[in-house]
Chain A
Amino acid sequence: MQMRVLKDVHRIVERRELAPRVMLYRVVAPLVATARKAGQFVIVRVEEGGERIPLTIADADAEAGTITLVVQEVGKTTARMARLREGDAFVDVAGPLGAATHISKVGTVACIGGGIGIAPVHPIAQSMRAAGNRVIGILAARNRDLLFFREEMRRACDEVRVWTDDGSEGKKGLATDALRELVADFGKVDRAVAIGPVPMMKFVAKTGHELGIPTLVSLNPVMVDGTGMCGGCRVTVGGKTRFVCVDGPEFEGHEVDFDELSRRQALYREEERASHDRYMKEVQS
């Protein structure tokens, strides 16, 4: 792998809104684009003084040297990001980080993306299919406005099913219902991958376990360095403490202590709110 340019300007070459408060950024990062595998993430710093935030790589174009990130606006950093335009740049992009998804030919694979989780499940669906699996994509969200990547997922999967909580698009029901339906239709699902909000992953993992389907989840805890150095991202998996950044981000879902993960994710909620409010005031004035 040639490394002609070691210091890249991480320019945004494409930026578009996928859903309310959900933005897609295609960013110049050739070293990452050529090295990344499904399931890996990058750490991004938007500007000087900014935080380091982990973002799963939703897609990459090795030839163009770009990676695609899908980001939900939740706090100051992501709000600041949303104000950047095509041609602007992130100060830092480091990666790819984390262990790649273990891809093997197992038969039928369900790739379930809940809301913002549709983005990270996309490259896994691509790789699972490339390995010869029959891949069924499930896009699940509260309502139709929160769905995106329909075409991308159709290209990546053998079949795509859409579910919404309110029935505004596709079938009405939860991601767990979608998984049960798959088992009913196909008789057997050999592997499930579920990525989305913590409660969604928790219940899909539980359902998967009940149905005897090994269910992989991808965790998104608070992180600082992303290289195993700080331990801020630690979670309990199978009764043992693991670092999501180097041991994960993917784990067998039924072993993950999701309640602990939720509590740890909420650790800085007050600071995050204060920071966001302060930023919004700054922007408005």
Chain B
Amino acid sequence: MSDNGTPRDLKQRYKTPKQEMPCQPAEVRARNFTEVALGLLGDNAKLESYRCIYCKEPACVSGCPVGVDIPGFLHEVEKGDLAGAARVLKRTNLLPAVCGRVCPQEEQCEAVCKVGQGKNGVAVSIGRLERFVADWERNSGMAQAPEIAAPTGKKVAVVGSGPAGLTCAADLARCGHKVTVFEALHKAGGVLVYGIPEFRLPKAIVAAEIKALEAMGVEIVCNFVVGLTRTVDDLMKEYDAIFVGTGAGLPYFMDLPGENLGGIYSANEYLTRVNLMGAYDFPKNDTPVIRGRRVAVVGGGNVAMDAARTALRLGAEEVRLIYRRSREEMPARKEEVEHAHEEGVNFTMLTNPLRYHGDERGRVSAVECVKMELGEPGPDGRRKPVEVKGSEHKIPVDTVVVAIGNGPNPLVPRTTPGLETKKGKILARDESGKTSLRGVFAGGDIVLGAATVILAMGAGRKAAKGVDEYLRTGAW
């Protein structure tokens, strides 16, 4: 490197092609639950890291919701010091193996990567490298717990063990506070364990990341439903501060005739049965799921892709994504859309369900749809889908998964007097997540509405900073 930090071999770096990450072949993976992407190989990872040009003001770092020191860890990979790379990553991100897999890097760090600008530019595969380093560290057995400040004697309750809660807990533990995480389900991880499927995020990885958190002294209490087992007010008597990260756990339905017929699931239920309860291995595991032959998934986001690809893996003959706009407008990550397409999911675009028809046992037998066309752009800039008159048609199905989004979970807002909300979401006064109740912070989907893992993590991090400041100064 030159004195001012710019690498001397810039040309060589630009010339190095993007390294591909091997995947299971589409026709094989579409029928199994093991991970789709296999991860970069060592040599390729090193070459890929070599593509970083070490910009003076790295846009990638500002593009990351948790501000990972990206050039810092890439530099360690380039040098071949993977333990060093892991140390850099973990300074800002306790869940690198998760983020390397599920973050929409193409909209964040990689979107602003200088190498990727220009007509033929291809961004450095930051996400894949993050995953590579995290996997190496986990498999090496040499993972080190991050340094923890001297105990402050302060106690913090974190409500919900999803991405927001886990990140907040990790940061607070690092500051020396005693943290207890309360989880309503029997297993910690929130959407990482009940929602995101094994083939995209192996549960062993989530378990390892949670174990690392426990090694930092964080206590995790499952089967504890804040709002009911104890209220936020009860917790306030025993803890110095509370962070609420209860997420967007209330599935939306479309309120269509026949929507309560058997075989129509919310994406949450479908994915929870399969992921958390292990219904893919029924009857070895006790929880069943309907293994549809013809499955329709309604929606166009990442969760819809997860549901469609899960249906394939459960043995469906036909899986159809029904979405009211066109493929280009789908909010899902491009990579997920491509994966779903490769695996054989049928994209039934510009189509909207109107009602469901059932058989004599009360099970869904068809979804009646109407064709849509894109009209004028709406207030959000997206072209508004409009019904095409007379285009009603029936599609035979035996299973439907409604994946049109989630609202904020109502348990904490309903049971916490004085906690201000708007449309069910907890109102946060500022970035730190301060709510209308002194000592109570909130962040993640319960504040933002359904968003992404990394945005929830970013909110958890900012709230941890706010909680720490409040605990040190007492200022509200």
Contact = CB atoms under 8 A, between A and B. Distances in A.
A283 interface: no
Contacts of B288: 268, 271-272, 275
Contact of B273 (A32, A45, A77, A224): A224
Nearest to A75: B286
B228 A264 contact: no
Contacts of B286: 49-51, 76-77, 275
Contact of A246 (B230, B285, B411): B411
Interface string A32-43: 100100001000
A274 B283 contact: yes
A31 B224 contact: yes
Contacts of A266: 262, 361-362
Contact of B186 (A52, A96, A241, A271): A52
Interface stretch (B20-28, B249-257, B467-475): B249-257
B186 A92 contact: yes
Interface stretch (A17-25, A148-156, A232-240): A232-240
Nearest to B360: A263
Interface in A231-263: 231-232, 234-236, 241, 246, 260, 263
A76 B283 CA distance: 10
Nearest to B187: A92
Nearest to A227: B184
- Choose among A6, A40, A50 the residue with the greatest number of B CB atoms under 10 Å from its CB: A6
B105 interface: no
Nearest to A279: B283
Contacts of B230: 1, 3, 31, 35
A271 B283 contact: yes
Interface stretch (B95-103, B215-223, B306-314, B349-357): B215-223
A interface, over-half SS: mixed
Given A1-B234, A31-B229, A224-B287, A94 B268 contact: no
Contacts of A272: 288
B277 A52 contact: yes
A275 B283 contact: yes
B348 interface: no
A216 interface: no
B219 A6 contact: yes
Contacts of B185: 94, 225, 227
A31 B411 CA distance: 17
Nearest to B185: A225
Contacts of A97: 225, 228
B269 A232 contact: yes
B132 interface: no
Contacts of A275: 282-283, 286, 288
A229 B272 contact: yes
Contacts of A96: 228-229
Contacts of B263: 267
Nearest to A8: B223
B180 interface: yes
Contacts of B269: 224, 230-232
B265 interface: yes
B234 A224 contact: no
Interface string B47-75: 00000000000000000000000000000
Contacts of B273: 224
A231 B287 contact: no
B360 to A, nearest CB: 10
B238 interface: yes
B184 A225 contact: yes
Contacts of A234: 253, 260
B272 A225 contact: yes
A192 to B, nearest CB: 26
In this complex, the interface size class of chain B, counting residues with CB under 8 Å from chain A, is: 35 or more
A6 B220 CA distance: 9
Residue of A227, A246, A264 contacting most chain B CB atoms (<10 Å): A227
A73 to B, nearest CB: 15
Contacts of A224: 269, 272-273, 277, 287
A123 to B, nearest CB: 16
Contacts of B361: 263, 266
B445 to A, nearest CB: 12
A228 B265 contact: no
A7 interface: yes
A196 interface: no
A52 B269 CA distance: 13
Contact of A227 (B219, B222, B225, B265): B225
Most A CB contacts (10 A, CB to CB) among B194, B223, B263, B287 go to B223
Contact of A7 (B186, B221, B259): B221
A241 B186 CA distance: 27
Contacts of B250: 228-229
Contacts of A6: 180, 219, 221, 224
Nearest to A271: B288
Interface in A63-89: 76-77
B278 interface: yes
A102 interface: no
B222 A92 contact: yes
A95 B229 contact: yes
B422 interface: no
A94 B224 contact: yes
A228 B234 contact: no
B93 interface: no
Contact of B266 (A49, A227, A231, A267): A231
A198 interface: no
A60 interface: no
A235 B263 CA distance: 14
Nearest to B273: A224
Contacts of B265: 231-232
Contacts of A205: none
18 contacts: A6-B221, A6-B224, A31-B230, A35-B229, A49-B286, A50-B285, A50-B286, A94-B184, A97-B228, A224-B287, A225-B272, A232-B265, A241-B253, A241-B255, A263-B361, A267-B262, A271-B288, A275-B283
Interface of A: 1, 3, 6-7, 31-32, 35, 40, 45, 49-52, 76-77, 91-97, 224-225, 227-232, 234-236, 241, 246, 260, 263-264, 266-268, 271-272, 274-275, 278
Given A50-B286, A229-B409, 11 more contacts: A3-B234, A49-B284, A76-B286, A77-B286, A225-B194, A231-B253, A232-B269, A246-B410, A263-B361, A266-B262, A271-B288
**Which 9 residue pairs of A and B lie closest in terms of their CB atoms, listed nearest first?**
A263-B362, A230-B269, A271-B288, A94-B223, A229-B249, A231-B266, A51-B286, A92-B186, A6-B221
